[in-house]
């Protein structure tokens, strides 16, 4: 079975005539007829009924038409990918990031990118996930890492790379004074919040709803580093990534409340569609390889 036979089959189905199909694929009617016969012989099914009004798909032909179109579409994508590989990827990719570079495996991405596509460079911009996601949608960024609970976002390709565990952290003075802290007592404490658009805010809101209260933070932190510092200074409880919270607890900065855990997802996002700049495709491949 050859791709040109599938193209001929699709052309006949669309035109309903061997002659018009031949014009569409730039060959002769006898050649089109021969290609169709060879395809039917190989598949072992009759694809068309020949009628006075032209070529009419059989039931088997209708089913095979869907498969043929999918196969041709896959071949087109493969050809496009090969063209991108042949043409050296180059240029600056505007890459949005969240949290710290280690958690993003950004070092691995940069190494793989430098090895395979030395003419591609990244212009990094760090921000909150919601702002970063909006920037990709608006075309201000080419791709990004974001934290998201969603499985899909309209207009974007969203790939989940790994779960990110979350933990509640307490000032040491609170943890020492109330070693058996329960949920009611927890939600009554002073809290440090994040901006309403931050994905972590939704998790805290759900925690407070379980405790029968509305989350009203006294202070707001716009980064993990700030949150960690504010909790450590005794200003209130706050939500951190578990790895950051564990590190801070190990250094004697704060304490983790073990009565609750949650998680969100670290994702890679870019505009949806198979036609993307070669440089962005190179970054996507490096990210996926870094994350296995």
Q: What is the pLDDT of residue 100?
A: 72
Q: Measuring CA to CA, which residue among 61, 57, 123 is closest to residue 96?
A: 123
pLDDT score at 116: 82
Q: Give the pLDDT confidence score for residue 179 in this predicted structure.
A: 92
Q: What mean pLDDT do residues 223-237 have?
A: 93
Predicted pLDDT at 130: 85
Whole-number Å distance between alpha carbons of 285 and 279: 10
CATH number of 3-86: 1.10.10.10
Average of pLDDT values for 217-232? 90
What digits encode the pLDDT tens for the residues 38-63? Answer: 999 999 999 999 888 889 999 999 99
pLDDT reported for residue 88: 61
pLDDT digits (tens, 9 = 90+) for 238-269: 999 999 999 999 999 999 999 999 999 999 99
Query: 90-292: what CATH class?
Result: alpha beta
Taking alpha carbons only, the member of 133, 207, 128 closest to residue 167 is 207
Q: How many CA atoms lie within 13 A of 24 on its CB side?
A: 17
- pLDDT score, position 197: 80
Query: First-to-last CA distance in the chain?
Result: 35
107: confidence class by pLDDT, cuts 50, 70, 90: confident
Q: How confident is the model at residue 83 (pLDDT cuts 50, 70, 90)?
A: low
Strand (E) positions, the chain? Answer: 48-51, 54-57, 91-97, 120-126, 143-148, 156-170, 192-193, 219-220, 238-241, 255-271
For CATH 3.40.190.290, the residue range(s) in the chain are 90-292
Q: What is the mean pLDDT of residues 203-229?
A: 91
Tokens representing 87? Answer: 């043409």
Q: Where in the chain is the domain with CATH 1.10.10.10?
A: 3-86
Tens of pLDDT, residues 161-203 = 999 999 999 999 999 999 999 999 999 999 999 888 888 889 9
pLDDT band at residue 235 under the 50/70/90 scheme? very high
pLDDT for 80: 66
The whole-model pTM stands at: 0.64
């Amino acid at each position: 079975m050859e791709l040109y036979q599938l193209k001929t089959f699709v052309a006949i189905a669309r035109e309903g005539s061997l002659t018009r199909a031949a014009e569409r694929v730039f060959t002769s009617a006898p050649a089109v007829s021969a290609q169709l016969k060879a395809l039917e012989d190989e598949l072992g099914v009759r694809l068309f009924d020949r009628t006075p009004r032209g070529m009419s798909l059989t039931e088997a032909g209708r089913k095979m038409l869907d498969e043929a179109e999918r196969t041709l579409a896959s071949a087109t994508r493969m050809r496009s990918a090969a063209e991108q590989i042949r043409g050296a990827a180059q240029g600056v990719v505007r890459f949005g990031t969240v949290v710290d570079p280690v958690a993003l495996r950004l070092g691995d991405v940069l190494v793989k990118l430098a090895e395979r596509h030395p003419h591609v460079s990244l212009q990094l911009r760090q921000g909150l996930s919601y702002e970063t996601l909006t920037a990709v949608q608006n075309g201000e960024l080419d791709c990004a890492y974001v934290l998201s609970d969603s499985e899909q976002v309209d207009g974007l390709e969203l790939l989940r790379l790994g779960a990110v565990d979350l933990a509640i952290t307490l000032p040491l003075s609170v943890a020492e004074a109330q070693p058996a802290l329960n949920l009611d007592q927890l939600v009554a404490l002073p809290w440090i919040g994040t901006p309403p658009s931050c994905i972590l805010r939704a998790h805290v809101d759900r925690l407070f709803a379980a405790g029968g209260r509305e989350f009203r933070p006294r202070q707001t932190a716009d980064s993990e580093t700030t949150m960690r510092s504010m909790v450590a200074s005794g200003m209130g409880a706050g939500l951190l990534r578990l790895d950051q919270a564990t590190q801070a607890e190990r250094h004697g900065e704060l304490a983790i409340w073990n009565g609750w855990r949650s998680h969100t997802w670290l994702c890679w996002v870019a505009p949806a569609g198979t036609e993307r700049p070669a440089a962005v495709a190179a970054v996507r491949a490096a990210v996926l390889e870094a994350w296995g």
